[in-house]
Every structure is written in structure tokens, then in C-alpha cells.
Amino acid sequence: MQFNASLSTGVRRSACAVIGVHDDGTIGGASRDARDEAVVGGLHRAGDFAGRLGDSLLLPEAAGRRLLLIGLGPKRTWSRRHYRRALKEAGSALVRCGADHAAIFFTAADVPDVDAYYRARYAAELAAASLYRIPDFKTGRKPRPSKLAQVTAVMGERADLAAARRGLDHGAALGVGQRLSRDLANLPGNVCTPTYLGNAAKRLARGQRRIKVRVLGAAEIKRLKMGSFLSVTRGSDEPPRLIVAEYRGATAAKAPIVLVGKGITFDTGGISLKDPPGMDEMKFDMSGAATVLGTLAALASAAAPVNVTVVVPTCENMPSGRATKPGDIVTSMSGQTIEVLNTDAEGRLILCDALTYSRRFKPSVVVDVATLTGACVIALGSHFSGLMSNDDDLAEALTEAGKRTGDPCWRLPLTEDYSEQLRSNFADLANIGGREAGAITAGAFLAKFADGLRWAHLDIAGTAYMTGAAKGSTGRPVSMLLDFCLNHGR
């Protein structure tokens, strides 16, 4: 899809004009065409279009051109969230109506705390998301692909064009990253195995001189003394992989951001077997891996001037005669011993070794991303990702990136009080701390392996995918992480 920014006078009349309308009948944005205002005013007075947030109405021929009206709701509550919701509805309506070129006029509307760059970036992001289709395995006829090939973000001021074009470029790059992330997470576990994930990372590097990928097998992982990681994969016939992907967009002297993604391609819980209902959704337990690889793809597409290294420990967690048992003690790459009290708390067991491995890159910061705990879903639902960190500035930077992108996280406390719950009579620490504060004690466990690092942990168990009838990957938090990387060190 092509994106461009233009003033209202530079938009072709053949484009489908997407006009935002508030509930008082006024037009939001750059369109001040008298014919548009006459059409909208007449429909509003007649009660045919009330301008409620998320409403849409297609007028095939009005005021000499095709109009798509999108409700913006009341002016008094107009906000970033409502602007994104209006754009989302616009994208869906454009796909339904079969338009091939759209000019979105309400991208010029003033939105509190949202500048021209982000107004345009959201437009590209949500237009790309509207075209996404789950990679299904149905044998029937596939739906026809959307005709939408070009989107113009209409700006009201010439001074906004440069920032808008940069925002569109980054929004388009984000679309590339989110598509990869969602595709990987939506694939079934018998397709997206650790080997498949490693090959996907290699494909990402093809034709990209700035990306270098290495995929380590079981023997190499064993030589690294990653006993905690290997304890999780013992019950599976699928071999584990450690994926290391380096993106170099800045000088070699600049310390990289390291992103660590949990890559459990299917999680049965191991010997501590999960309840059968909903276990099919455990194919999404590699969403952390999908997120960091998607972020890398977005950075490459945007030619971002940063250095980012991605580390993905990936394996299955299966029960068998060889599987790790509750009460077993394993030795991590750091040398710390761990009593495995629950084999379904496996994500932290692979991440702790990956955090230790990340030290060799001398990172500026390390951020791990994981569908780690059901407790985080109970605490924050599907709206906020959980955030824990040993560094206030890093936590603030991630929080602000989440606010700017509409992909928010919420910081949870992380003090030594919670580490007390991880005491073990038989090892340096246990892998669980009981029911209380389950999301936080998981973070406290990882913090034991991040000493001396500027580190943050994102628990995306509630935000990475949707359940029920709309089951599927959301592509979160690629948007937040791309924004964080683009602004890191500024």
C-alpha cells in the first residue's frame, strides 16, 4: 500500500473522501468544501447521520465525489483514543466498500496531545491493519483481497507535511512488523515450531544487509550451559532453538537495545498439565518472540538509525517420561540453581538464561517480552501490558511510548518483598512464589538474572491475543516497542 500526505487542494477528486463528522454536525479536519458541508449538514439535520463515534455512512456520489462519513462523537470528549477508533472504522469501511484510493480528511483535525507525525502514523498503521487477514487453512474459496492500494493523509497546514510524511513512513513500517508478528502467532503449533521460528528469522534477514541472524541448536545451547532453558524442552520431540538477530542501523560504537522474546511455540504446562479448555490458545505462547521479530522487521523497514539485538529462546513445553518434574532442580546459565515447583511456570525458565546471554552484547537496555502469567490478565485485563523494571527512566520511557502509540502498559511494583516469596529450602530460588501477586513474583524471578542491567519486563499475556469468537493475535506491543526504539537515547 502507498501512503502520502497532501494539502486538501492536492487531493485527486477520484479518491474516496473520508470526512469526519462530530455529533453536532460539524466537520472535523481539513475539508472546508462548501458542497461537503452542505451534504453533511443536510444529513445531520434530517437525522440520517448523527456523527456518533464509530458510525459510518458511504455516499457513492455526493458533492461530485464519493464520500465516506465517519462519526467522531462529541467535541468535548475528542481524544487520541477516539481518533484511533475513528481511523479503525474508516479502514474497515474502506475495505468493505472496495475503494482503491482514499483521502482521509480528518487527519488534519486537532487532537489533544497528538501532533501531525502521530496523526499520520496512526492513519498508516490502522489502514494496514484493516487489510490484515489471518493465515487460515480453510479449503473453501478465499475472500477477494481488498482493492485499497493508496491512502492520502490530508493535512491542514503546509508546515505539517514533513512530519506527516515521516509518520506515514513509520506507520507503514509498523504495518510490516505487525503483519509478521500476527502471522507467526496465528499459525498452529504443528506448523510454527522452534525450527520454523528460526527459519522465519533467517528469512527476515534475506536481502537485508543491516540484519544478521544466527540460530543455535540444542548442542550449542548445552555448551552455553543453559540448563534452565533446556529443562523446559526435555519433554518434547521438537528440538529447541536460540535465535539471535542483530539489526545495525547506527555506528558500531553505539550500544544496542536488546529485546528478549519468549518463544514457547506450544505450552501444555508440562507435567503440571493445564486444564484442557482453552489449551489450543497456547500456540500464542510464543507471542513475545513474534513481537520482537516483528519489531525488528519494522525497524528494518523504517531504516531506523538504532542498533537492536533480538534474542529468542524457543521450544515446546510437553509432558513425557523425560520431562522435568515438580521438585527437580536445574542450574541456569548464570550458575544460580532453581527448584522447579511448577513446570507450567516455564517462560521464566527460558527467559532467565536468555537474559544472562544478553550481557555479551553490552546492551544499553534490555527489555524482555512474554505472555508470562495469567495473573497479569486478571490484574490488567486486555487493555494494559504489565511493566516491571529495575530502572525508573527505562520504565518511564516505555510507559510514554505506550501512551503515544495507544499501546499502553502499566507499571507494577518490584521490590525485594516479592522476592521473599521465591525462597527455596533446596536451591537458590524457586520458580514460583504462590498465588499472591503472581505476575509480580514472575518479574521478581527474572530480576534475579538482570542484576547490573538496565532491564524491563513486559507481561503481554492479556494484550498479545484475543480469545473467543475474535480469537487471534493483536500484534501488540510492536507499536510501543518500535516507538521506544525510535526515541531511545534522544
Q: What is the pLDDT of residues 362-372, one digit of tens each?
A: 999 999 999 99
In a domain, 226, yes or no: yes
Q: Are residues 56 and 25 in the same domain?
A: yes
Q: Are residues 308 and 360 in the same domain?
A: yes
In a domain, 35, yes or no: yes
In a domain, 468, yes or no: yes
Structure confidence at residue 144 (pLDDT)? 81
Q: What is the pLDDT of residues 427-449, one digit of tens each?
A: 999 999 999 999 999 999 999 99
Structure confidence at residue 230 (pLDDT)? 98
Q: pLDDT at residue 66 above 90?
A: no
Note down the domain range covering 346. Answer: 177-487
Q: Are residues 138 and 203 in the same domain?
A: no
pLDDT band per the 50, 70, 90 thresholds, residue 5: very high
Catalytic residues: 274, 348
Indicate the DSSP class of residue 452.
Answer: T
Average pLDDT score, the chain:
95
* The three cell numbers locating residue 429: 530460588
Report the amino acid identity of residue 204: L
Q: pLDDT at residue 9 above 90?
A: no
Model's pTM, two decimal places?
Answer: 0.96
Taking phi over 0 as left and psi of -120 to 50 as alpha, with beta for the rest, 340 belongs to beta
Q: Are residues 369 and 483 in the same domain?
A: yes
Q: Are residues 143 and 30 in the same domain?
A: yes
> Quick check: 398 and 387 in contact, CB under 8 A?
yes
> Quick check: 128 and 171 in contact, CB under 8 A?
yes
Instruction: Please tell me the distance from the alpha carbon of residue 154 to that of residue 18, in angstroms, as a whole number.
Output: 10
In a domain, 163, yes or no: no
> Quick check: 200 and 191 in contact, CB under 8 A?
no
Which CATH number covers residue 392?
A: 3.40.630.10
Q: Are residues 184 and 136 in the same domain?
A: no
Q: pLDDT at residue 61 above 80?
A: no
- Strand 56-62 relative to strand 65-73, pairing: antiparallel
Q: What DSSP string describes 24-67?
A: TSPEESS---HHHHHHHHHHHHTTS----TT-EEEEEEETTEEE
CB atoms within 10 A of CB 77: 11
Average pLDDT over residues 232-246: 98
Structure confidence at residue 235 (pLDDT)? 98
Structure confidence at residue 459 (pLDDT)? 98
Q: Are residues 375 and 448 in the same domain?
A: yes
Q: Per the structure, how many domains does the chain have?
A: 2
Which CATH number covers residue 134?
A: 3.40.220.10
